[in-house]
Amino acid sequence: MKPKVICHIMSSVDGRLLDDRWTKPFDGTDKTELLKIYAAIGRELNTDAWMFGKNTVRAVFPEKFGDGNTPLSESYSVFVGDRHSARMFIVFDPDGDIRFTSSTLRGDNILVILGRNVTEEYLMFLREMRISYVVVNDAIDLMSGLEAAIREFGIHSVSVQGGGILNGALLNKGLIDELSLVVYPGIDGLAGVPSIFEYIGNETNCPAKGQSLQLLSVEQWGHGVIWLRYEFHINKK
């Protein structure tokens, strides 16, 4: 059993994600005000946790942990650190090398999903930082990490607010239950710019194959922002 996964993303009308490239709002409103709408909608989802991809987390915690190389023992596969926030922030770290400088991100306590390649020194570092973690066989396996989140930490719903690569990986595995798409009233227009779903593969791959979308709701917010909600369905045939 895995948590409900909601892919919550803001894009331009052409599906691009780099907000510094988007055209300005027609009404002259500062772009940051529209980004605040996206954040407010994210809070309305009321999930138990939210998550970024590792590359996005790197922008907040850029330093790498490289101290020690003691292989993982059987102990300390789950650690419950500080949990004083209403929701948790999750990051999958297959390399076990993010050097956190805080046990929270945007005020929410952090949960790290790690693989068995992690070192004892890194786990000790996380315990000293009071950062929660769970070790699974392979942190690249998104399903096992999500299952561990609900099993060990009672996380029943997750809002994925990462980039297109994380969204694409989840899409390819059929792990997305709902798409929460906030459309910014502007355009990027350039080919090759990161988009909503960016599965890393070749032209023979069809990461969305067998999946379909059911429109749940459409809401118009301020300054031309549109919020679309879709439910994912897996076609059995």
The DSSP result for 64-133, as a single string, is: BP----PBP-SS-SEE-----SSSEEEEE-TT--B--S-SEETTEEEEEEE-TT-BHHHHHHHHHTT-EE
pLDDT at 74 over 80: no
For residues 100-123, give the mean pLDDT.
95
Strand partners, 159: 6, 50
Tokens of 148: 């561990």
The share of the chain scoring above pLDDT 70, in percent, equals 98
- Confirm if 39 and 180 have CB atoms less than 8 A apart: no
Predicted pLDDT of residue 75: 60
The class level of CATH for 1-48+156-237 reads: alpha beta
Predicted pLDDT of residue 26: 94
End-to-end CA distance of the chain: 22
**pLDDT band at residue 194, thresholds of 50, 70 and 90?**
very high
At 159, which amino acid appears? S
pLDDT at 198 over 90: yes
Predicted pLDDT of residue 179: 98
Measured distance CA(199)–CA(115) in Å, rounded: 22
**pLDDT band at residue 107, thresholds of 50, 70 and 90?**
very high
Non-local CB neighbours of 204 within 8 Å, separated by 6+ positions:
none
- Confirm if 176 and 7 have CB atoms less than 8 A apart: yes
Mean pLDDT of the chain: 94
Tokens of 199: 């599965």
- Confirm if 210 and 38 have CB atoms less than 8 A apart: no
**pLDDT band at residue 72, thresholds of 50, 70 and 90?**
confident
- The burial of 64, by beta-carbon neighbours within 10 Å (0-12 exposed, 13-18 middle, 19 or more buried), is given as exposed
Q: How many CB atoms are located within 10 Å of the residue 66 CB?
A: 11
pLDDT at 16 over 90: yes
**pLDDT band at residue 235, thresholds of 50, 70 and 90?**
confident
For residues 90-100, give the mean pLDDT.
95
Predicted pLDDT of residue 71: 85
For residues 206-213, give the mean pLDDT.
96
Q: 23-49, pLDDT tens digit by residue?
A: 999 999 999 999 999 999 999 999 999
pLDDT at 237 over 60: no
Predicted pLDDT of residue 95: 93
CATH code 3.40.430.10 region(s) in the chain:
1-48+156-237
Predicted pLDDT of residue 169: 94
